[in-house]
Each structure stands twice: as structure tokens, then as C-alpha cells.
Structure 1
Amino acid sequence: MSRPVSITARIRARLRHASHDDAGISLSELIITMMVASIVLTIASSMFVTIAQSTTASNQARDAATVAGTASNSIGRAIRSAVQVTKPDGKLAAAVVAGTASSVTLTTLVMPASSTTLSPVQIRYTIVNGALIEETWTGSNSTGFWVFTGAATRTKSLGSTIVLPTGSDAPIFSYLDGNGAPMTIAASGLTDAQRKDVSSIDLTLRVRSSSSTKAKPIIIDTTIGMPNLGYSGDDS
């Protein structure tokens, strides 16, 4: 009568068998394993590149949108606050001092931090080497009339990655008359009659990220009214 084999003996027998099994992995198994690993690495690398490109594009769009938003807000405030100041002959001067497709000069109202009254200033927006420049002239009240002379009292850049329009692109500044119709202006800018008839300005800004010249620009297109026309800007 044979004695039953214990569990411990069975385990030892299996271990002795495994220790003498030196067959290892076949060449075909190794090649298949390497192919599978290569495919997995390729997929992982592709996903990483896609995520990196998407993150970069998102950051570039956010940067451009920030610049475009800041610039359009500054220009919008100046246009909405534009006023006609009284000239020495008693007539009102046009709120738009000068206007072309890429530059506009306005007489507008601001409230200095040290004052409780509004004071007219002249502000010019223009593009210089891709930068949107804001220049401000502080007015002086001469015998009851506001005058703006000399060099700008303040100059700052609102963004250095402005994309100029090409071909059929809308200009940066378009001018609408009292009926809301677009004005046709010469290369030299608005005529005196046109300046007096401007009632709103269409702003089209194209801003590209500063980190890439190939990134698609952010475009802001908005029409800004001038509700203060007829107000002289004199709070005295």
C-alpha cells in the first residue's frame, strides 16, 4: 500500500522540474514581444506629441486673446467717450481729429485720478512695426477753449503682435456715418466733412501670439458707437 504524497513533496518536485527547464523564450516570442512594445511606444509618443501641440496652441490663443481684449477695451473706451470741443469761433470741432484705415485720433474725455471732473484729452492709436501704440495729449484750457499742442504726454504699447490686414481683409478702423453706412476714405484719411459725420467706428483687430509667428491670429471685430457727440466736454 503506497503512502500518500504530501503537499510539500509535490511543491519540491515542481521546483526541481522548473530548475532543470532551461528552454527559455523562443526567438519568435521575443520578436513578437518587441513588435508589441514598439507599437505601444509609438502610440504613447503620438499621444504625447498631440497633447503637447494642443497645449501649446491653447496657450498661444490665450496670450493673443488677452492682448486683443486689452487693446480693444482701451480703444473702445476712448471711442465711446469721444466728444466735440468748442472752438474759439463757438462751433464744435469734430470728435475725430484724424482717421485712416490704420490710425485714428480722437478728442475724448477722461477723469484724472486727482480730479472729480472730466477733462478732454486727445488720443491717437496707430500701428508701428506691428505694435499698437496709444499716444495721449493732455489738454489745456486757454481762454475758455481746450487746446492740444506739443509732444504727447504719455505713450504706451497695447500689444506688439498686431497683424496688418491684407487683400480683402477689413481695415483696422472703418468709419460709419450718421445713417450707419460705411464711409469710403482716401489713403490720406477722412476729409473734414467726413470727420464731422462719423457717428461710430468699426474696429477689427488681428492679434497673433508673441511666441509663434505661424499661429493663427485672434480676430476681434466690433462696432463702437459715439454717444457723447454734441457734448462739449466742458464741466466748468
Structure 2
Amino acid sequence: MSRLRTLAVGDVRRDAGLSLAELLVAMMVFGIIVAVVTTTFISLTKATAQARGVDANTRVASNVMNEVSRVVRAARTIPTPGGTEATSFSLATTESLTLTTAVNGADSLTTVPRKVTFGVAADRSLVEMTVVGTPLKTDFWQFVSTPTKRTLGGSVVAPASSDAPLFTYYDFTGAVLTPDSGGALSATQLPAIAAVQVSVTIDRTATASSQAVTLQTTVSLSNLVGGATT
């Protein structure tokens, strides 16, 4: 009988379950595990989004830089019927430029002069406008056809006052050509352009975030040795 009573007491103790202290400890451990897992998941999600954003902006910035560099590097002067050379650049500001270039386009396997304009649109996207030259006389060209428009993608972040602008221009001595208060070079400065520094910052919006990507390069204009005569 005594043994049966002992077994019965043992069964009652086993059926009693967890004590309050044990339950609190278990809940605390479970809470810590959940907090660690949640924090890790959130961190990984943010890191993945950050990496994807930086990667996307890097690809856009690279495409922009490659296209601008390709076109600007092939800048050329244009002969005029009067026997002089028309300057390659007809517009040069801190956020836009227009020049004649000898770069080949997708529509031609031959070198046909083109007048190309790069400019920042109202939504801060970089737009490329191209006018293919048409023969005027032998070795002379005019640019009167309908321009084609191409948006290079992304949002060009407006630079701070301490940052380099989108376009900076240098003369044949390596000195910076200082624009006027409106950010444009004068007509007398345009023939002196020998190199263009391109500094582009790309982000999803016009305001730089932690995902913004900045690329900078200086393009020398080897075709413009000595500049234009007009």
C-alpha cells in the first residue's frame, strides 16, 4: 500500500507540468531567439535591397558614362564653305552640352558627323538628342534633320555647391574654363575646350541616398588639337 501511495504521489508531481519560474525562463529564451531571428532577417533584407539598389544605379551610371564619353571623345570641328573650321561645341554649360562628333551610330557603318546634345531634363534624367548630318557640299555638312531622342535612364542627382558639376571644361593648357553666373561658357571660350570632365551621380530620385553611385572621368578631345578657327 505504501508503495502504491508513493507511485501515486510521483504521478501527481509529473502531471503538475512546468512551474511559473520555468515557464518564464522558457518564454524569455523563446523571445530572445525570435528577436535574434527577426533582427537577422530585417538586416539581411535591408542589405539585399541596398546591394540591389547600388547595383542598379552602378549599371545606369556606367551606361551614362560610356555613352557620354564615347560621343564627346569623338568631337570634331566642321569645315565651312568659307574655308574655316566651325567649333565643335556650340553649347557648354554645367548640365548640358551640344557638340558635333564623328562617332558612328547604330544607323550607319560610316562616319557621318552628328550634332549631339546631352542635357538634364526636368525629371533629372539625362537625355541625348542626336541630329545626323546631311551633305551640303563636298566635305560640308548641315544639321537640319529631325533629332532623335534617347533617355539614358536614372536620375542625375543635383550636385552640392562643393561637388563637381556634371560637366567641367578644360582648355589646352589644362586650366579650367570658368562658366558665367548661369553656368555657361561664352562663345569665345567654346573653341578652347580641349577636355571635358564628366561627374555623374545616379540614384532613384534626384536626392542622393545611401544607394547613390558617382562616377567621374575626364575625356580628352584629341580631334580638337589647336581648337577651331571660328
TM-score normalised by the chain length of structure 1 = 0.83
Cα distance in 2 between the residues matched to 1:113 and 1:36: 65
1:209 maps to which of 186, 204, 211: 204
What residue in structure 2 maps to residue 5 of structure 1?
none
* Identity rate, percent: 28
Equivalences, count: 215
Alpha-carbon distance change, 103 to 113 in structure 1, aligned in 2, over 3 angstroms: closer
Cα distance in 1 between the residues matched to 2:18 and 2:183: 83
**Any idea what the Cα deviations from partners look like across 1:102-130, whole Å, max 9, x if unmatched?**
00011001335565531110100000121
Q: Does 1:47 align with 2:40?
A: yes
What residue in structure 2 maps to residue 163 of structure 1?
157
**Any idea what the Cα deviations from partners look like across 1:152-207, whole Å, max 9, x if unmatched?**
1x101001411111322211000000011111011262222211111110001010
**Any idea what the Cα deviations from partners look like across 1:53-98, whole Å, max 9, x if unmatched?**
1110110101111110001100000011111110121111111121
Secondary structure, counterpart of 1:38 in structure 2: helix
**Any idea what the Cα deviations from partners look like across 1:205-234, whole Å, max 9, x if unmatched?**
010036x97444111111111112259xxx
Q: Does 1:108 align with 2:118?
A: no
Q: Provide the alpha-carbon RMSD of the alignment.
A: 2.3
**Any idea what the Cα deviations from partners look like across 1:130-163, whole Å, max 9, x if unmatched?**
11000000111112211112541x1010014111
2:79 maps to which of 67, 81, 86: 86
What residue in structure 1 maps to residue 125 of structure 2?
131
Give the counterpart letter for 1:193 in structure 2.
T
What residue in structure 1 maps to residue 4 of structure 2?
none
* Structure 2, unpaired ranges of 5+: 1-6
* Structure 1, unpaired ranges of 5+: 1-14, 232-236
Alpha-carbon distance change, 131 to 113 in structure 1, aligned in 2, over 3 angstroms: closer
What residue in structure 1 maps to residue 220 of structure 2?
225
Give the counterpart letter for 1:36 in structure 2.
V
What residue in structure 1 maps to residue 179 of structure 2?
185
Secondary structure, counterpart of 2:71 in structure 1: helix
What residue in structure 2 maps to residue 25 of structure 1?
18
Give the counterpart letter for 1:206 in structure 2.
T
What residue in structure 2 maps to residue 96 of structure 1?
89
1:75 maps to which of 68, 71, 92: 68
Q: CA deviation at 1:25?
A: 1.5
Secondary structure, counterpart of 1:60 in structure 2: helix
Deviates more, 1:75-84 or 1:189-198: 189-198
Alpha-carbon distance change, 29 to 90 in structure 1, aligned in 2, over 3 angstroms: same
Cα distance in 2 between the residues matched to 1:62 and 1:37: 37
Alpha-carbon distance change, 103 to 117 in structure 1, aligned in 2, over 3 angstroms: same
Cα distance in 2 between the residues matched to 1:223 and 1:156: 23
Secondary structure, counterpart of 2:115 in structure 1: strand
Secondary structure, counterpart of 1:117 in structure 2: coil
**Any idea what the Cα deviations from partners look like across 1:38-67, whole Å, max 9, x if unmatched?**
011111111111111111011010111111
The structure number with the bigger radius of gyration is 1
